[in-house]
A and B are shown apart, each in its own frame.
Chain A
């Protein structure tokens, strides 16, 4: 049951005591004792809790999850000692963990702001002395390093169950009486801003708005810059191993950059482009083994849970081995990703982008063409190619044929993401929908193969471990399950591809993009 609630900003020149006095003249109130609270707000790097309208704060050894607008507590639990990073599974089992886990998923929670607030609770009573509305004056200050930055004071107004009319009456009176306006977002937003951050965290989404008549090279620069931003934003978290999504988002941005370099090659000067394509390919390659092991471990529990009887327990030595391999792969990756060569690659790429539009157009045939023409041409060509490739796939086709189609599909997906803003949503949305459905099947088909191969490659090592024999047998079952799931994905291919390549769809794609 959610209670009606709002937060109103108090004018800078009105102290908390004056608020209580002004209220006492109009309402039957009882002022409680003021108290100070120190809180550290936590969220994921991409602000998943804030997006879900939630705030998670730690104070006095407890973690409290609250509804953002109402600041009404939804669940709480003890804060694990000395925590600087928390995954949902680090929390004790209970309502807080249950509520957080589906929101944050595999992402780590880290502190995003520290706030010290002085609270003055004020209860509004009815004629028989019953509390019908709860008010709280909050005077917060952000703690930034060793300095304290006062933040705008706010008045929390929270209803009491079954007393909605009183809430409305009091809220209206407050707005009228004190001229208060609703606060924008929770207090943690003010604290994050005061520390120079951006409320809501750092998104890895593209969020591009291109102009239809824009030069193709200018559009490519806008896309590539955004992708570079995502790479750079996720690099520190990848190196520090905060959670697996930093590496994932970094890899997606690198892959998208490579797709852009390939598909819009005609807007870049050929020679430096060749160097950057090779540099980005290398970047992709050095992050691959770590990501494969991340995926294997992220899905490990689910896979193991599917094992019959005691085999779920038997397979634990494999988990330890995977973790050990991940540690080694990560060490290699961190050395390479954190190297001067990587820094130089990204820095030089940024410089090329900065000067691209003004640079000589010779060797860049698509540079000055309208982006709609170039993008449409590429989307239509890749789509047509996919339709041809897919139509040739039959029951006897090798796995490589499906893998190649998946790669092409990624290319198309990225093109659609880059240029979505140039085309009608009613065309792009269903096209992305059918492509996504197809890619899901192709992705599962390939991932299961990679996972099964990885397990097979570890067979000798697992056999040599203590408890290796039962683990090896359980792994055999795991590999079988992975291959069975791969077969299911393959069986679903035809149905998904038929939708993607339907005649009606082809017509619409041709009309829109060719």
Chain B
């Protein structure tokens, strides 16, 4: 089982879109996939037409008092299940802080489901906190959507340094450019400058109205616009990611 966490300290960079679309593509390819929507805003849960509600709330879940298998919801898509968001996740840090070894807690929840899934995708909330550290310990891969701007790249470097220094068994960190506007020179320059870097995947996701329309259709993009620019880019990104994580499986 591989745990892929879509993470960035910043919000609105495409974490939910990449989580939902890659999870869907993995399931379409025959894998058994779980998506855990850890963001209390519940965007991934909304996109999959599921109520953002976890019986007992996030606290009981991370304290090991709820059985995660009983909280899962089957989506409309074969082999893709969801552990939904819950508004109580906004207090995840507090709930974790009440436990021993708080940074191991999310991994423990995932371990209980390990036999049932080939891939687990985590759609993470935008923050750097105790919950983030728990995510870093649970993940095999941190998939970081990057807006091609100098400040965003600086934050990415900070993240790499933090993970290398602080996480005992650090995940592989892979970034990709998200919301690229090919008409903007700055975007083109930043992408060219950083694409050779080992931690950055070759595939970029363009800024496209299809991605926004996911919220209208409430379906993964590839399920209604697979052949659009963004749809093709996600398929390519999944292929590239799959190749990179294959040896880790």
A25 within 8 A of partner (CB): no
Provide the bound-state CA to CA distance between A43 and B69, in Å.
33
Q: What mask results when residues 19 to 51 of chain B are scored 1 for a CB within 8 Å of chain A, else 0?
A: 000000000001000000000000000000111
The answer to whether A128 touches B49, judged by C-beta atoms less than 8 angstroms apart, is yes
Provide the bound-state CA to CA distance between A123 and B78, in Å.
13
The answer to whether A130 touches B69, judged by C-beta atoms less than 8 angstroms apart, is no
Provide the bound-state CA to CA distance between A67 and B220, in Å.
29
CB of B24, distance to nearest CB on chain A (Å):
15
The answer to whether A163 touches B69, judged by C-beta atoms less than 8 angstroms apart, is no
The answer to whether A162 touches B72, judged by C-beta atoms less than 8 angstroms apart, is yes
CB of A77, distance to nearest CB on chain B (Å):
10
CB of A128, distance to nearest CB on chain B (Å):
6
Selected contact of A1 from candidates B30, B51, B69, B76, CB within 8 Å: B69
A131 within 8 A of partner (CB): yes
The answer to whether B49 touches A161, judged by C-beta atoms less than 8 angstroms apart, is no
* Given A129-B218, A161-B74, A162-B71, 11 more pairs with CB closer than 8 A: A1-B69, A1-B72, A3-B74, A128-B49, A128-B51, A130-B50, A130-B76, A160-B73, A160-B74, A161-B72, A163-B74
Provide the bound-state CA to CA distance between A507 and B50, in Å.
68
B137 within 8 A of partner (CB): no
Interface size on A, residues (CB 8 A): 12
Provide the bound-state CA to CA distance between A13 and B74, in Å.
34
Q: What mask results when residues 105 to 142 of chain A are scored 1 for a CB within 8 Å of chain B, else 0?
A: 00000000000000000010000111100000000000
Q: What mask results when residues 1 to 18 of chain A are scored 1 for a CB within 8 Å of chain B, else 0?
A: 101000000000000000
CB of A92, distance to nearest CB on chain B (Å):
13
The answer to whether A161 touches B76, judged by C-beta atoms less than 8 angstroms apart, is no
Of all A-B residue pairs in the complex, the 6 with the closest CB atoms, nearest first, are A161-B74, A162-B73, A130-B49, A160-B74, A131-B76, A161-B72
Interface size on B, residues (CB 8 A): 13
Provide the bound-state CA to CA distance between A162 and B73, in Å.
5
A1 cross-chain contacts in B, Cβ below 8 A: 69, 72, 116
Q: What mask results when residues 49 to 82 of chain B are scored 1 for a CB within 8 Å of chain A, else 0?
A: 1110000000000000000010111101000010
The answer to whether B73 touches A161, judged by C-beta atoms less than 8 angstroms apart, is yes
Provide the bound-state CA to CA distance between A439 and B120, in Å.
50
Q: What mask results when residues 418 to 452 of chain A are scored 1 for a CB within 8 Å of chain B, else 0?
A: 00000000000000000000000000000000000
CB of B199, distance to nearest CB on chain A (Å):
32
CB of B41, distance to nearest CB on chain A (Å):
17
Provide the bound-state CA to CA distance between A123 and B75, in Å.
12
Provide the bound-state CA to CA distance between A162 and B80, in Å.
13
Q: What mask results when residues 70 to 96 of chain A are scored 1 for a CB within 8 Å of chain B, else 0?
A: 000000100000000000000000000
Provide the bound-state CA to CA distance between A130 and B75, in Å.
8
Provide the bound-state CA to CA distance between A3 and B50, in Å.
18
| Minimum CB distance partner of A3 in chain B | B74
Q: List 15 A-B contacts (CB under 8 A).
A: A1-B69, A1-B72, A1-B116, A128-B51, A129-B49, A129-B218, A131-B76, A161-B72, A161-B73, A161-B74, A161-B81, A162-B71, A162-B73, A163-B73, A163-B74
A160 cross-chain contacts in B, Cβ below 8 A: 73-74
Q: In the complex, which of the residues A1, A3, A128 has the most CB atoms of chain B within 10 Å of its own CB atom?
A: A1
Q: In the complex, which of the residues A1, A130, A160, A162 has the most CB atoms of chain B within 10 Å of its own CB atom?
A: A162
B218 cross-chain contacts in A, Cβ below 8 A: 129
| Minimum CB distance partner of B30 in chain A | A76
The answer to whether A162 touches B49, judged by C-beta atoms less than 8 angstroms apart, is no
Q: In the complex, which of the residues B49, B72, B218 has the most CB atoms of chain A within 10 Å of its own CB atom?
A: B49
Interface residues of B in 107-138 (CB under 8 A from A): 116
Provide the bound-state CA to CA distance between A161 and B78, in Å.
11
B74 cross-chain contacts in A, Cβ below 8 A: 3, 160-163
B30 cross-chain contacts in A, Cβ below 8 A: 76
CB of A495, distance to nearest CB on chain B (Å):
38
Provide the bound-state CA to CA distance between A129 and B217, in Å.
11
CB of B31, distance to nearest CB on chain A (Å):
11
| Minimum CB distance partner of A129 in chain B | B49
| Minimum CB distance partner of B46 in chain A | A128
B81 cross-chain contacts in A, Cβ below 8 A: 161
CB of B86, distance to nearest CB on chain A (Å):
14
CB of A126, distance to nearest CB on chain B (Å):
8
CB of A453, distance to nearest CB on chain B (Å):
45
| Minimum CB distance partner of A126 in chain B | B49
A128 cross-chain contacts in B, Cβ below 8 A: 49, 51
Provide the bound-state CA to CA distance between A353 and B218, in Å.
73
A130 cross-chain contacts in B, Cβ below 8 A: 49-50, 76
Provide the bound-state CA to CA distance between A129 and B75, in Å.
11
CB of B6, distance to nearest CB on chain A (Å):
22
CB of B36, distance to nearest CB on chain A (Å):
14
CB of B33, distance to nearest CB on chain A (Å):
12
B76 cross-chain contacts in A, Cβ below 8 A: 123, 130-131
Provide the bound-state CA to CA distance between A130 and B74, in Å.
10
Q: What mask results when residues 130 to 162 of chain A are scored 1 for a CB within 8 Å of chain B, else 0?
A: 110000000000000000000000000000111
Provide the bound-state CA to CA distance between A76 and B32, in Å.
13
| Minimum CB distance partner of B81 in chain A | A161
A129 cross-chain contacts in B, Cβ below 8 A: 49, 218
Q: What mask results when residues 182 to 210 of chain B are scored 1 for a CB within 8 Å of chain A, else 0?
A: 00000000000000000000000000000
A76 cross-chain contacts in B, Cβ below 8 A: 30
| Minimum CB distance partner of B82 in chain A | A162
| Minimum CB distance partner of B71 in chain A | A162
A161 cross-chain contacts in B, Cβ below 8 A: 72-74, 81
Provide the bound-state CA to CA distance between A162 and B81, in Å.
10
Provide the bound-state CA to CA distance between A3 and B72, in Å.
12
CB of B16, distance to nearest CB on chain A (Å):
18
Provide the bound-state CA to CA distance between A129 and B81, in Å.
17
A3 cross-chain contacts in B, Cβ below 8 A: 74
| Minimum CB distance partner of B73 in chain A | A162
A162 cross-chain contacts in B, Cβ below 8 A: 71-74
